[in-house]
Amino acid sequence: MQFLNIYSCDFIHSKSDDSLSIGIWFQTSSSFDGNIVDGDGGDGECNIDDGSYTAEENGLVAGARSALIISMLCGMSALIMVMFEWCICEICCAGLVEGLAFVGAWGCGLGVYMIYGIDGCGTLEEEINEGTTDDTISNFGTSLIPDSIINIPTGTDCDWGPGATYNLLACIAYFGCGILLCCTPQPKPICKQ
**74-127 pLDDT, tens digit each:** 999 999 999 998 888 888 888 899 999 999 999 999 999 988 888 778 777 777
Between helices 94-111 and 162-183, what is the axis angle to 10°? Answer: 160
Q: Higher-confidence residue: 170 or 55?
A: 170
Question: Which DSSP string corresponds to 11-56?
Answer: SEEESS-TT-EE-SS-BS-TT--S---TT--TTS--B-STT--TTT
Q: What pLDDT is recorded for position 107?
A: 95
Residues of the chain with CATH 1.20.140: 2-121+157-192
pTM assigned to the model: 0.77
The domain defined by 2-121+157-192 folds into Butyryl-CoA Dehydrogenase, subunit A; domain 3 (1.20.140)
